[in-house]
Structure 1
Amino acid sequence: MPPDPLPMPVHDFPPGALVSVLTPDMPLRALDYLAPEGGVATGAWVVVPLGRRQVIGVVWGPGAGGFDPARLRRIDTVLDAPPMQEELRQFLSRAADYTLTPLPAMLRLASRVPGLADPPQMRRLIRATGTLPARSTEARARVLEVLAELGGAGVPQADLCRAAGVGAAVIKTLIAQGVLTEGEVPRDLPYPRLDPATRGPELSSEQAAAAAALRAGLRQGGYGTTLLKGVTGSGKTEVYLDAVADVLAQGRQALVLLPEIALTADFLARVEARFGALPGEWHSGVSPAERRRLWRMSAEGGVGLVVGARSALFLPFRDLALIVVDEEHDTSYKQEEGVLYNARDMAVLRGSIAGARVVLASATPSLESWANARSGRYGRVDLGARFGTAELPDMQAVDLRAAGLPSNRWIAPALQQAITARLALGEQSLVFLNRRGFAPVTICRACGQQIGCDQCDARMVEHRFQQRLICHQCGASKPIPTACPSCGVEGRLAALGPGVERMAEEASALWPDARVKVLSSDLYSSARALKEDIAAIAEGGADIIVGTQIVAKGHNFPRLTLVGVVDADLGLQGSDLRAAERTFQLMRQVAGRAGRAERPGLALLQTHQPDHPVIRAILSGDEEGFWQAEAEARQMAGMPPYGRLAGIILSATDPQPPFDLGAELVRRDGPLRAVGAEVWGPAPAPIARVRGRHRVRLLVKAPKSCALQPALTAWLAQVSVPAAVRLAVDIDPQSFL
């Protein structure tokens, strides 16, 4: 059924009234304007003059006043777009306050829709009238067959001609005979209705109990967050889709966030199989026209389920009842540029404001979510067994200290033998290394110089498939040189260390008859190509998969029975606060790709540290013991989630001004000390120069109960930031680079 019509907006402000308009363009706050003829409603999208430009904004409330009325300018146009509801305005305001982001920058996230200022567009569609043609021909029959398959839905003439394989003359003749009719309809049509009554797969008793718990929360009403923790392959998706069905049956809306675009193809297919139609899709790979349509339909109630990346959290939902954050532990949910926010945390914030239920789903939850569930702040539902006959893979360590590997080889004999055995059985193997490219370092054996980026303090990574050196910080690239850029000696450059391209080369040499496929995000120019390759692999299109962490994120390869981790120690290097947690999550996730169907799985972890506590925890499968030990260590150190952190990043093209400003901030740390916080730094960032800008970091550590944001605001307000220096605040930082 189509949604109920939107209520007519109440014109809170009569013509000429003083109103506050927030625009995603400069300046840093809302400005006062005069309401137009006919008045205007709070939340209305409008076009206003700003300097010499015309910009889009939102009526945020009554004007602040205090200006010469003669200097005030009038709102030019009220757009024909659904007004922004109070719930979304509150969410943007509170998200801005939490992240210390200027509100206009936060509004920008909610207004990324092509053609928002354009009037509603129409398009002409062809439909069948039910009248038969005067004379039947093969071409006319194909036209009617195509329209019958659409079940009464109209189709543009060009698409109909293409689908039926006929020319425009055939269509025009049928229109003239009254067999077809052509009419105009709005371009932004509601999405096909998902049928919540369609039966999904039969749930196990454990899954049914978990689904019932989620449905009970929905029917209770109001906000609540539940951690849905289930081992890989346990059927978490089917459990939360059961809750989505409950939302759809109520005529309300649900949002499912996924960490990677590559996951959407398989997920959309599952939704279509479950509900008989496709949901709305929102991410960077969606066409501008489709994004405009989804933005409008989410506001008008013309879409029941939206599947998207983290930015989908800022869509203007009319009646949001459920937010699911799948793979909630994934670092992709943290926006590291522009507005710095964690979509997992913002999902919980939006759910609390909208009165919606939030489900955080993961096999290896973040310590923050685990601790919130343990303290009772979140509910928790567990799935401890894989669905059907599938069992969790056996996990074993391969001690590289005793493997006797030559210096130019990385696949140990034990892993080589296991892959050979799988090839003989017609099964797939995954060789996992979380490092893109061919080699992370290119060194000159004549002078010892390592080739670095001209704009960053980072080594350039050799990508042999592309014949280029690429900086993974700024994206700069250049051809692989034949002579050393430093000393000019020819033929002495050497690639050190392995990346996935090098691992693919080694696999092809060891198994020349095997089909080797590399899965790495940098090798794909489009999300569609990546999706197609993942689908082909799932159908058996490769014998050996060599991949980065992209393969660990929810993909289902039924023929995959062996996972070999080339370097399980890689994530344990350095002093990252979350190194142990992330290594544990990644290893458990990637191992979980094996044995997801009837055949048993095996995961081999190559390591130089088989006795490391994290490696032992991974192999033992004692997840609760690992989280407990990690929680105790963090609690003793006063670190998140038992303390609070905020990063201050200062950058400039000249290295001195950021240090000077950082030192000045440290001298004025009174507002922080007043709430029990302390500041560390300033110090050069681990990667001190990125895109030609020198970076200095300060880290603020505070007690859990500290009112950190007001203290940070008062602290930063004491200094004047030079025009040449950029200052960014990262609340709850995930990366310290």
Structure 2
Amino acid sequence: MAETVRISVLLPLPLAGAFDYLDSGLGLAPGDYVEVPLGGRQVIGVVWDGAPEGKTPTARLKPVTARLDAPPMPEVTRRFVAWVAGYVLAPPGAVLKMAMSVPEALRPAPLKTLYRRGGPLPARMTTERQALLDALIDDLPRSVRDLSALAYVGEGVVRGLIEGGTLLGVEVAAHDPYPMPDLSLAGPILSPAQMAAAGELMEAVGQGFRPILLEGVTGSGKTEVYFEAMARALENPQAQVLVLLPEIALTAQWLQRFADRFGVEPVLWHSGLTDGERRRAWRAAADGQARVVVGARSALFLPFPALALIVVDEEHDAAFKQEEGVIYQGRDMAVVRAQQGAIPVVLASATPALETVSNVRRGRYAHVHLPERHGEAVLPEVTAIDLRRTGLPRGGFLAQPLRDALLATVAAGEQALMFLNRRGYAPLTLCRTCGHRMECPQCSAWLVEHRGAGRLQCHHCGYATRLPSACPECEAEGQFAACGPGVERIAEEVAALAPDLRVTVLSSDLMASPKEFAAVIDDITQHRVDCIIGTQMVTKGYHFPKLTLVGVVDADLGLAGGDLRAAERTYQQLSQVAGRAGREALRGRVLMQTYMPEHPVMAALISGDRDAFIEAELQAREDHGMPPFGRLAGLIVSGEEADAVTRHARKLSQTAPVGIGVSVLGPVPAPLALLRGRHRWRLLVKAARDIDLQRMLRDWIARAGTDRKVRVQIDIDPYGFM
């Protein structure tokens, strides 16, 4: 009789920990995917490390139903899941769910039927049948469509041979293997500076854990440099490489560069994939067949068996911060994943995050620098348009100097970009008669007008409605006014300047798919567009050869509010968008409309003295004990009943930790006090670096107790404060 062994199984559910089950002769080991009973249903989990809990008597334990035929979850992935759960104070099962995001991939792969010769010749031979049989000299199985195309015959001919038994069916996996990168292809010719940088990255491959900041001005060729490190890693036939991009669905140019360098496309991982594509990509990563995966932050949790290098491109980008569900910083977790796997991680940026800069200065990260643009290109000249002196035309949002520069640029056969990080037509719609503002019924937010689509929309929950004919407050008809500009309104103003101007708007809500976005990028690259009107999505490393003018419509936009990182984020964003200008031989220039040209961010951009800005920002952070010199954690208390949320937030305040090096701010209603129908309060914990923040938070939450009507989310190292 097989020995019955108690084992620990972690389930992808937001539960406190692993459950005990019985291994009745299956010989299970940590990492095995198993099916187990739970409350009357079958659930897939992972045999977990460590001793079983042991509290439940063996006689009451249920046996594992089955072991699934899938590669076991690697030990490094299990350690990573446990580490992330402990750091962000999330249930381990909730983190495991991110690593098991495609349960279908754990089942047998779907099959398809292909056909090849193998049966008797048909009783009646026709010219077309003979042509098909003559073409099948390689004996490779093919689909009906491929066989038809191979011999230039109709599919009916093929099916007739199948029915007659001349062609036999072969069951094969529905998905073909991903093509392998071709390392024999020559990369682009690198400059001496690029070669030196590439050499440092290549040297790190295979030498254990080493975080490296690859810093280079916009247009310096950072991508081509880290491609060389990727090629070095892939020389090992088992090695896998992961590249994280902030918005994977929008990176058509990056994917083309990769294809040019390695002859194939990488394996993609992002939320825009179909279920079948996600299944195929997840299984290929788990099997080790996916050699290069390019994905959004969630790709970190794919169960790579042989990861040899991680690259985080645009490492400063706020899109790497996950704000929903399990809250984590993708860039920081990439460094942790590299440490867990003893591999190098490259953080690439023209404007690295202050946390990264601080780690370089402390000697924790290596630093590789590309201070100049590649080839003949030089950095653009940046000039401020002081709107206090220049003013704006009546009803317009582009000052006359920017209008003149735009028209002159297009007349010279070049391209211009007008940047405004605000989607839609107008951010606010109000009634001229009574002042009523159109607000979201589910969020504390104004509805944004999208005139092209004919709707008002909330950018937080997605609620949308048409603009009513009469004001809901005073019933006045035809009195709604659009206040402030969005990119659609700027496009309208640009089109009015010169009706023959070829204008396109780049905004996430106007792009139906990555394919559509790629087509627009191609139009811009091929100079079928004169003027681009874009939001932050145009700052993501695009290369437009004819683009020489960047106009920033509202350079002050990101500086409003009390956000800790407002100045840093604004500097990064404006630097990145400025970097789109003059990336080849044509000289570029940047005009920034601002009411605060003396602000440190504007002064640094105009003078090009980035180091002075960083020094001032770091000194201000250090003076106030803010990251990277101190630690922050946010507590978000939410629920559908406002009174219950308020009570629990105050209870948290009353039980808050006190002591040297710790202070708790709040509770206060969140700036978005209502979000998706849930009322919200916030508290902010500020602690010295030597405080065990996670332990303190766990003890605090336990003291305050729970309320089933209220949810408390913990945000370690918060980036947003809404």
What is the aligned-residue RMSD (CA, Å)? 2.6
Paired residue type of 2:613: F
| Residue 258 (str. 1) matches residue 245 (str. 2) | yes
Task: Report the Cα offset of residue 164 of structure 1.
Answer: 8.4
Superposition deviation, residue 391 in structure 1: 1.5
Aligned partner of 1:25 among 13, 17, 20:
13
Give the drift of 1:569: 0.7
Deviates more, 1:459-468 or 1:526-535: 526-535
CA distance in 1, matches of 2:620, 2:205: 36
The Cα shift of 1:711 comes to: 0.8
2:214 is matched with which residue: 213, 228, 238?
228
Structure-2 change in CA distance of 1:181 and 1:617 (3 Å): farther
Q: Secondary structure at the match of 1:344?
A: helix
Aligned 1:576-595 pairs, distance under 5 A: 576-595=563-582
Moved more, 579-588 or 480-489: 480-489
Read off the aligned partner of 2:674 and give its amino acid letter. Answer: R
Distance 1:277 1:625 in 2: 43
2:228 maps to 1:242: yes
SS in 1 for 2:156: helix
What is the identity, as a one-letter code, of the residue corresponding to 1:355?
Answer: A
Which amino acid is the alignment partner of residue 713 of structure 2?
A
Map of 2:122 onto structure 1? none
Please say if 1:54 is aligned against 2:76.
no
Cα contact 1:197–1:245 (8 A) shared by 2: no
* Residues 1:493 and 2:470 are matched in the alignment: no
CA distance in 2, matches of 1:535, 1:153: 38
1:681 aligned to 2:670? no
**Residue-by-residue CA offset, 1:673-726 (whole Å, 9 max, x unaligned):** 346311110001111111121110000000112111011111111122211111
Change beyond 3 A, Cα 1:178–1:622: farther
Aligned residue number for residue 680 of structure 2:
695
The reply to whether residue 368 of structure 1 matches residue 355 of structure 2 is: yes
Could you tell me which residue of structure 1 aligns to residue 285 of structure 2?
298
Partner residue in 2 for 1:723: 708
Aligned to 1:101: 90
Deviation at 1:88, TM superposition (A): 0.4
Sort the Cα spacing of 1:394 and 1:48 in 2 relative to 1 into closer, same or farther, 3 A. same
The 5 Å alignment of 1:315-714 reads: 315-669=302-656, 672-674=657-659, 676-714=661-699
Q: Confirm or deny: 8 A CA contact 1:675 1:706 kept in the other structure.
A: no
| Pairing partner for 1:79 from 59, 68, 78 | 68
| 1:183 match | 170
Structure 1, 293-302 or 725-734: larger mean CA deviation: 293-302
**Cα contact 1:189–1:293 (8 A) shared by 2:** no
The corresponding residue for 2:30 is 42
- For residues 155 and 471 of structure 2, the distance between their equivalents in structure 1, rounded to whole angstroms, comes to 62
What residue is the counterpart of 2:110 in the other structure?
121
Aligned residues: 714
2:6–2:58 CA contact under 8 A, matched in 1: no
Could you say if the C-alpha distance between residues 249 and 71 of structure 1 is closer, same or farther in structure 2, counting changes exceeding 3 Å?
A: same
Greater shift, 539-548 or 262-271, is seen at 262-271
Q: Secondary structure at the residue paired with 1:227?
A: strand
Match of 1:630, SS? helix
Q: Greater shift after overlay, 399-408 or 554-563?
A: 399-408
Contact 1:263 1:554 in 2 (8 A): no
For each residue in 1:255-277, what CA deviation from the matched residue of structure 2 results, as whole angstroms up to 9, or x when unmatched? 00010134432222211211122
**CA-CA distance at 1:117 after TM superposition:** 4.3
Shift of residue 280 of structure 1? 1.0
Q: 1:730 to 1:523 in 2, by over 3 A?
A: same
Counterpart of 1:372 in 2: which secondary structure? helix
Post-superposition Cα deviations, 1:212-264, rounded to whole Å, max 9, x if no partner, equal 00011114x11010000011111000000100000100221110001013443
Code of the residue aligned with 2:259 in structure 1: it is E
Distance verdict in 2 for CA 1:504–1:48, change over 3 Å: same
Shift in CA distance, 136/542, structure 1 to aligned 2, threshold 3 Å: farther
Q: CA deviation at 1:412?
A: 1.1
| Alignment partners' CA distance in 2, 1:156 and 1:731 | 52
C-alpha distance in structure 2 between counterparts of 1:197 and 1:357, whole Å: 23
Q: Which moved more, 1:517-526 or 1:187-196?
A: 187-196
> Alignment partner of 1:434: what SS?
coil
| Cα shift at 1:390 | 1.5
Do 2:249 and 2:270's aligned partners in 1 also have CA atoms closer than 8 Å? no
Structure 2 residues without counterparts, runs of 5 or longer? 119-124
3-state SS in 2 of match to 1:421: helix
- Compared CA separation, residues 697 and 528, structure 1 to 2 (3 A): same
TM-score (normalizing by structure 1) = 0.92
Does the Cα contact within 8 Å between 2:250 and 2:514 map onto a contact in 1?
A: no
In the other structure, the counterpart of 1:4 is none
**Structure 1 residue 172: deviation in Å?**
5.3
Deviation at 1:475, TM superposition (A): 1.1
Q: Which of residues 255, 258, 264 in structure 2 aligns to 1:271?
A: 258
Quick one: structure 1 residues 431 and 142, their matched pair in 2 at CA, closer, same or farther if it must change by over 3 Å? Answer: farther
Question: Separation in 2 of the partners of 1:647 and 1:581?
Answer: 20
Quote how far apart the aligned CAs of 1:190 are: 3.3
Letter in 1 for 2:224: E
Distance 2:426 2:319 in 1: 24
Aligned partner of residue 115 in structure 1, secondary structure: helix
Q: Deviations over 1:437-494 (max 9, x none)?
A: 1111111111111111111111111110111111112111110112111111101111
SS in 2 for 1:116: helix
Q: 2:205 aligns with which of 199, 205, 218?
A: 218
* SS in structure 2 of the partner of residue 640 of structure 1: coil
State the distance in 2 between where 1:184 and 1:286 align: 26
Change (3 A) 1:118 1:394: same
Give the Cα separation in 1 of the matches to 2:564 and 2:185. 46
- For the residues of structure 1 that align with 2:139 and 2:324, how far apart are their CA atoms? 46
SS at match of 2:205: helix
Change (3 A) 1:542 1:143: farther
Q: 1:365 to 1:126 in 2, by over 3 A?
A: farther
Q: Give me the whole-angstrom Cα distance separating, in 2, the residues matched to 1:557 and 1:127.
A: 49
Q: 1:290 to 1:572 in 2, by over 3 A?
A: same
Identity of aligned residues (%): 50
Q: Distance in 2 between matches of 1:601 and 1:159?
A: 51
- The DSSP-based 3-state class of the residue aligned with 1:247 is helix
Asked if structure 2 preserves the Cα contact closer than 8 Å seen for 1:80 and 1:120, the reply is no
| Structure 1 residues 159 and 97: alpha-carbon distance in aligned structure 2, compared to 1, 3 A threshold | farther
> CA distance change for structure 1 residues 73 and 179 in 2, over 3 Å: closer, same or farther?
closer
- Check the 8 A contact 1:443/1:493 in 2, yes or no: yes
Report 1:150-169 matches (<5 A): 156-158=143-145, 161=148, 167-169=154-156
Alignment gaps of 5+ in structure 1: 1-13
Aligned equivalents of 2:47, 2:204: Cα separation in 1: 35
What SS does the aligned partner of 2:372 have? coil
Secondary structure of 2:227's counterpart equals helix
* 1:722–1:160 Cα change, 3 Å: farther
Residue in 1 that maps onto 2:121: none
* Aligned residue type for 1:269: Q
- Partner secondary structure for residue 673 of structure 1: coil
Equivalents in 1 of 2:165, 2:530: separation in Å? 56
